Amino acid sequence: MSGAQRDFPLTISLNVLEHLGINLYSNVPAVLSETVANAWDADASEVRVNWNKDAGTIVIQDDGIGMTPDDIVDRFLNVGYRRRDKQPGMTKKDRRPMGRKGIGKLSLFSVADVVDVETIKGGTASAFRLDAAKIRKEIQRAGSGTYHAEHLPVDNTDFLVGTRLTLRKLRRRQSIRTSAGLKKRVARRFSIIGAKQGFRVFVDDDEIMPADRDYYDKIRYMWTYGDQEDVRAQCKNIENHECRTRNIAHDELKVTGWLATVRKVRDLEDQDGADDRPGDNLNRIAIFVRGKLAQEDMLTDFPERGVYASYLIGELRVDDLDQYDGPKTRQDEDAATSSRQRIVEDDPRYRQLHQLVEKELKHIQARWRELRSREGLEKAVNIPEVKRWLEKLPPQPKRKARHWLGRLNQIRIEDVDEQKNLIKHAVLAFEFYRANEDLRRLELVSDGDLEATLAVFRNLDVVENSLYGQIARQRLEIIDTMRRKVDKNALERVVQEYLFDHLWLLDPSWERVEGTEFMERRVSKLFEDVDAKLTKEERFARLDIRYRKTAGQHVIIELKRPERIVVTAQLVNQLEKYKAAMSKLLAAQERVHEPVEFVVLLGKEPPEWSNVGGKGRSIDLLRRIYNARIVFYDKLLNDAYEAYADYTKQRQHTTYLEGVIGAIEDYAPSES
């Protein structure tokens, strides 16, 4: 084996070095893809990528045809060398070359400052070093743009044919997390890797396999174009497959590949990136040309998308986007951008592809809705009580109910508890719908048909009782959760934030706060006026005060600081001011007879309550004169819990509908 002595000059401008070299790519897998593509063009059968973390190097070696010294100068170091013009047609292994513009080798400087090249062809070995810093310095010094590569000894060249690249001084921002992540990212950039294609790629001696793409097992519904049996065999969890070859074929544009949806949106969340960036965006339609990724995502070109698109993934192979195979073949415009990372959107072939894909997406959207609806109904009837509820419905309402339950699965909700809530609310909503339909039919019932009228009212009672029973259970759960999960020291703050908008904690009869925006503004101004008359001590003791109107009466709630001790006399003094101000405000609106209730929330009992009869006198005074009552932070939740617990205990029976709702809440679906 002889060594090369020829000079290796590289002629390049600083602008080309910066924009088509150092700044061309932003991640390691994209750069490695260029070297893998070069190995494919060199008829290699194997490419091995080894990442030495300790040495801080990446070594890429192939067993392709290699390069002679003349090849190095005329082709490798010739920036912009158009391989297909000089070496037209297929390779000796009958491969369609991927390279076209002759700039891919510059991408190495995107991840490394130094690149060592060793290559052997015809028994002649060559080795040299390219140093980005020295190239830049030489260009700036001489202005000629010619850099002479540094010769390296060939004694360490321990292979007989092919090329080895060693990337040194890796950029920190291009650090790689795991070899597995690198395998995955490289696997996703090629459709020709594997023994079947005679092109095997290894990362740290571990061969890249189709399964390394790490999404085939997540595919659920699939639409294929052309022969995709190899891909189909990788997808172990497909529930629906549809061959669409005839629907996407076109005289001038051949498209193969597949589109698919996954079970859950989070299945497309790729957490294991191969470098400092997050993982790949898998919610995409990738475009491959000549076996190599040409555009990572076409899906973003379709802004008007439904929920189904969040579950979509696909790979389409469109070799017609690159038809040029040398001067003797039909010349075509290059459809790829200069960065080689996407297709030119104005290219007629891409516009044609866009139209074909748009048509397919509309079909997929309709089928996805249909399939998801079918699955949604299956989920619902897996709950035995829901199935029995459906079976009891008359034929026409049953069809509507099945449709309602099925459509729930088209909503992007994947939490099991939220899905059960949807089913529960759908059942209740449908029962209200039926009740309203019954009320409309009452117009057709004869005056003497009392039994038909009573049947409608009984159905309304069932729905109403079921709904309120559901409300009571939910409130018990809320209170119980607050008591169990909130630290005692923080409980007051939780109650304060929740209380004003959920007055049922104070009184179960206070169901809804009435629309009182105008009165709230007036009363807020009133509070400001009253504040001016309070002592400094009184203002400091108060934490907050709010006004609400509910159940036909005006309610003023004052929160005292939990740690403050307040005597009844102080409360009377403040309440007198609030009462007088409210009376004046209501009189001005001619609403003087509307009741006003005051609620004072305390952390500690007034000290006089410890005196004999002191508690009773205090409570009676506040209730009789001011219609006021004291509530304590630590008793508020207990009292509310007991009020709703008493309601559920006093009910003599549970309606059939409540049984259905309870079964939905208790249902524990198996993991799928």
- The model's pLDDT over 269-310, given as tens digits with 9 standing for 90+, comes to 876 544 445 567 899 999 999 999 988 899 989 887 788 999
Percent of the chain with pLDDT over 90: 26
- The model's pLDDT over 425-474, given as tens digits with 9 standing for 90+, comes to 788 777 777 766 666 655 555 555 555 555 555 565 556 666 666 677 77
pLDDT at 348 over 70: yes
- The model's pLDDT over 158-202, given as tens digits with 9 standing for 90+, comes to 888 999 999 998 875 555 567 788 888 899 999 999 888 999 999
Apex CA 576: angle with CA 570 and CA 578, to 5°?
Answer: 105
Higher per-residue pLDDT: 486 or 324: 324
DSSP, collapsed to helix, strand or coil, labels residue 368 as helix
As a whole number of angstroms, the distance between CA 86 and CA 185 comes to 32
Amino acid at 79: V
Instruction: Tell me the average pLDDT of the chain.
Output: 80
How far is it between the farthest Cα atoms of the chain?
Answer: 115
CB 358 within 8 A of CB 305: no
Higher per-residue pLDDT: 28 or 91: 91
Query: What pLDDT, on a 0 to 100 scale, did the predictor assign at position 363?
Result: 94
Least confident of 583-587, 624-628, 654-658: 654-658
- The model's pLDDT over 477-487, given as tens digits with 9 standing for 90+, comes to 787 777 776 66
Place of tokens 């009377």: 572
- The model's pLDDT over 488-545, given as tens digits with 9 standing for 90+, comes to 666 677 777 777 777 888 887 776 656 556 666 777 777 777 777 777 777 666 667 8
CATH 1.10.540.10, applies to 2-207:
no
40 pLDDT band (50/70/90 cuts)? very high
DSSP per-residue letters across 135-173: HHHHHHHHSS-EEEPEE--STT---SSEEEEEEEEE-GG
Q: Which residues lie closer than 8 Å to 630 by C-beta, 6 or more apart?
A: 571, 600, 601, 602, 606, 618, 619, 622
As a whole number of angstroms, the distance between CA 514 and CA 218 comes to 49
As a whole number of angstroms, the distance between CA 17 and CA 138 comes to 12
DSSP per-residue letters across 94-117: -PPP---SS-GGGGGGGTEEEEEE
Query: What pLDDT, on a 0 to 100 scale, did the predictor assign at position 664?
Result: 81
As a whole number of angstroms, the distance between CA 269 and CA 616 comes to 63
Residue-range domain boundaries for the chain: 2-207, 215-355, 374-483, 487-626
As a whole number of angstroms, the distance between CA 5 and CA 70 comes to 11
565: exposed, middle or buried (Cβ count in 10 Å: 0-12, 13-18, 19+):
middle
Q: What is the DSSP letter of 331?
A: P
Structure tokens at 211: 């399964």
Query: What pLDDT, on a 0 to 100 scale, did the predictor assign at position 59?
Result: 94
pLDDT at 133 over 90: no
